[in-house]
């Protein structure tokens, strides 16, 4: 039953979620500081360098950024945008070559991640890219939801939805974007692992036993 969880949360691949957030919060709701006569370009219309700068520094008119959305929802101190909107960044080495070692995160990122993970464990994690799996789990724990309409796609924003993915094959740009999304990507990976465990619990051949929340995660035995 849903009593094992007190809420439901939906995760989305960080790169795609950032693109959607940019088009909704920035392009439709003015980026601050921003002259009202100069609308913010859509994700596909702005240069990757300017886009990455906007992701790190930008806030919409309500004071919200677009990076690390799971921390914005679950972490303690999530009301302080400067704590979560610029957690990780690439330091360009002298040779100009970016790698994993070039990505550094601020010291408070680990404490924010820890509190976010702890709070997230009270929620049933669903994953947008795994709608069928998420629907099975949602129906098992919250049967009154009736599953998820996986064949239905609604775009509620003013900008037309596009099927183009985030830039690929551009090593420097991709490395910087992936670096900025380091913490969110960790939470996305955990959400997928929890979803896998819940599916194993539901469809495994072993006798079903209740899933239990522990500090290290959700255990289904």
* pLDDT single digits (tens) 4-21: 788 999 999 999 999 999
The whole-number average pLDDT for the span 42-54 is: 86
Strand partners, 200: none
Which has the minimum average pLDDT: 21-25, 38-42, 72-76? 38-42
Report, in angstroms and rounded to the nearest whole number, the Rg of the chain calculated over CA atoms.
Answer: 19
Residue 5's nearest CA partner among 194, 207, 216 is 194
- Please check the confidence at residue 139 and state whether its pLDDT lies above 80: yes
| pTM score above 0.75 | yes
pLDDT tens digits, 25-37: 888 766 655 544 5
**pLDDT for the residue numbered 217:** 47
pLDDT tens digits, 183-219: 999 999 999 999 999 999 998 744 344 445 454 444 4
* Pairing of the two strands 211-214 and 217-220: antiparallel
The span from the CA of 84 to the CA of 121, in Å, is 20
């Amino acid at each position: 039953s849903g009593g094992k969880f007190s809420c439901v949360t939906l995760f989305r691949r960080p790169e795609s979620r950032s693109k959607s957030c940019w088009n909704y919060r920035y392009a439709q709701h003015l980026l601050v500081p921003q002259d009202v006569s100069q609308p913010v370009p859509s994700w596909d219309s702005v240069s990757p360098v300017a886009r990455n700068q906007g992701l790190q520094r930008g806030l919409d008119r309500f004071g919200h950024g677009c990076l690390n959305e799971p921390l914005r929802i679950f972490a303690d101190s999530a009301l302080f945008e400067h704590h979560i909107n610029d957690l990780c960044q690439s330091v360009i080495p002298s040779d100009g070559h970016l790698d994993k070692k070039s990505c550094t995160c601020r010291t408070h990122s680990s404490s924010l991640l820890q509190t976010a993970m702890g709070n997230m464990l009270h929620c049933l994690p669903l994953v947008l890219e795994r709608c069928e799996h998420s629907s099975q789990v949602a129906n098992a724990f919250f049967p009154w939801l009736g599953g998820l309409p996986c064949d239905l796609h609604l775009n509620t924003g003013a900008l037309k939805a596009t099927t183009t993915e985030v830039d690929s094959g551009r090593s420097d740009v991709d490395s910087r974007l992936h670096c900025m999304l380091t913490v969110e990507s960790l939470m996305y990976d955990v959400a997928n692992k929890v979803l896998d465990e819940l599916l194993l619990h539901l469809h495994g051949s072993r006798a079903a036993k209740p899933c239990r929340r522990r500090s290290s995660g959700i255990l289904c035995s």
